[in-house]
Amino acid sequence: MCGIVGIVDAGGVSLPLYYALYALQHRGQESAGISTYEGTTLYKHKEHGLVADVFTPANLQGLKGTVGIGHVRYPTTGLNLPENIQPLNFRFRNFVISIAHNGNLVNTQELRQEYERRGQIFITTTDTEVIAKVLIDELNRSGCIEDAVHLCMRRLRGSYSVVMMINGVIYAFRDPLGIKPFCVGKTHGGYIVASESVAIDALNGTLIRDVKPGELVRLDTDGIHSTQIAVCSCTAHCIFEYIYFARADAVIDGVLVYDVRRNIGKKLFEECPVEADSVGAVPDSGTAYAIGYAQGSKIPYVESLMKNRYMGRTFIMPTQREREKAVRIKLNPIREHLRDKEIVLIDDSIVRGTTSRRIIEIMREAGARKIHMRIGSPAIKSPCYLGVDMPTRAELIASDKTEDQVRASITADSLHHISLKALVEAIGFPEGKLCTGCLTSCYPVGIDGEHACERKVTFVDGTYQSHLKSFTKVNGGA
C-alpha cells in the first residue's frame, strides 16, 4: 500500500517526481519523500504528510539532478516513525544508494534476524531496509547489481516492486509473481517507472508496458534496458488492486481498472437484480461499479451521497475510530434524492462493516425507504499478508458470518457480494494468475498457518525456487 516512482529526465526531475507522487497519493497518505542525484551528490527531502504539504517550491528547487526516485507511504510493515519514511539512503564503498519499495515481505523477521546475527545494525523497522541489506551484501561480494537483484529474488518471499537509484542510475525490479503493479513509460525528456500508469499520465507521458514479473529494468539517458532474472510458473496479481486500491483510470498489467469495475457492476445486476428507484454509489470507490449496474439494469444512476473532496481515503486511515469519525464528514446525503426512495447502493468491498453500517444509517436518517447493498468483491474472509492493510481475521466482518448475518449487521434491506467467478471474468485473467488470498484463504506464497497454492520460480541460471521452500539445483535447467 505504497506508491513508488523513478525518473530520468534531462530537464531535471524534482518537479516531475512531485507531480508523479501527487498522482500516486491514493496509495499512501502517511509520508512522502524524494531523492535525487547530481554529479556525486545525493539530495533528499522527506517528511510525514501529504505530497502537497511535504514539498514546497524551495525544497523542490534544492532537489537537483536529472535522476531521482520518490515514495508515498502507508505502513503495512514498520511503525509510523520518521526513520521509516522512504526513500532510504545509504553510502557503501563507491555506491551511493537510494531505495523505495511497494509491497510486503512475509520473511522479513527471518532475514532481519539472520543479518543481525552477522552483526548488521538496522535503523528502521521496514522490510525495505531488509531488501537493502540483501542487495548491499551481494554488492559487497560481487560488485554486480544484476547479481544483487538475482540474490534478492532468491531470498525474498512476498510482494515487492522496488525502485532504486545507484550512483545516478535508476534500477527497478518486480517480484516473480507480479503481485504489486509496476509499469514503465516514456516522457518528453526521458523515462519513468512507477506503481501505476496514472503517474505517467500526470507527466503527459506514454505508457510503454508493465515491468514483467521477475524482470530488472535500468533507466538511463540511453533508454530502457531489461534483464529477465526469473520467470514464475504462474503470476499472482493482487486482485484487490482491481477491486479498490488502484485508481480507476490506471492500466494494470494491460487492463483498464475502470472497465473492470464497470463490468463488475453489470455482473452484479445479472447475479442479483432488484427493483429500485435509483442506483447510487459510495463515492468514489463505488462509482464505476454503480455506473455499470445502472447500465445493466436500466435503473437511473443518481448521486445520493456527496463526497467532501478534501478528505482522504478512510480505508487507509490508521485507526478504526478515525475511519468511523471521518465517514460523516466525508459523505453528506442528498436528501432530495433519498427521501422515500428505494436505493441500490454499491461499494467496492466490506472489510470491517462499521463504515457500511454508518453510511446506511446516514441514508436512512435522510429518508431512504429501502437500501439494497451490492458489493463489487466477494466477501473478504482472510487477512492480507502481501501489502493491503487487512491484518487479522478478527477485523473482517465476513470471516465468521454468513452473508445474511453481515446484511443484518450493516442493517441493509438486502445484500449481495459478487461471485469470485464473475469477478475473475470481469478482470480478464484466469483465477490461477491472481492472488485471491483475502477471498479464498489460499495464498501464492508460503505463510505460517495458512494454506498456499505453490508457484515455481525458474531462474536464468537453470535453478528453480518454490515459494513454499528453498531453491534447488536442476541439472540441465528447469
Burial label for 456, CB within 10 Å (0-12, 13-18, 19+), is middle
Distance between alpha carbon 300 and the CA centroid of its chain, in Å?
A: 32
The rounded distance, in Å, linking the Cα atoms of 218 and 178 is 18
Q: How many CB atoms lie within 10 A of CB 275?
A: 10
DSSP state of 242: I
What is d(CA 174, CA 188) in angstroms, rounded to the nearest whole number? 25
CA distance 204 to 190: 12
Give the bridge partners for 416, in sequence order. 374
CB-neighbour burial class of residue 279 (10 A; exposed 0-12, middle 13-18, buried 19+):
buried
Quote the distance between the C-alpha of residue 370 and its chain's center. 35
- Any catalytic annotation for residue 152? no
| Cα 223–chain centre separation | 26
Q: Is 53 exposed, middle or buried (0-12, 13-18, 19+ CB in 10 A)?
A: exposed
Strand partners, 193: 6, 184
- 284 cis-preceded (ω within 30 degrees of 0): yes
Distance CA 4, CA 24 (A): 8
Asked if 175 and 160 count as a contact pair (C-beta separation under 8 A), the reply is yes
Query: What is the number of other CB atoms lying within 10 angstroms of the CB of residue 421?
Result: 12
170 near 193, Cβ under 8 Å?
Answer: yes
Residue from 357, 292, 282, 354 nearest 323 by CA? 354
CB-CB contact of 377 with 243 (8 Å): yes
3-state secondary structure of 236: coil
**Cβ atoms within 10 Å of 318's Cβ, excluding its own:** 13
| Helical segments of 76-126, H only | 108-117
Instruction: Note whether 175 and 168 are within 8 A (CB).
Output: no
Q: Return the C-alpha cell found at 414.
A: 438486502
Query: Which residues are annotated as catalytic?
Result: 2
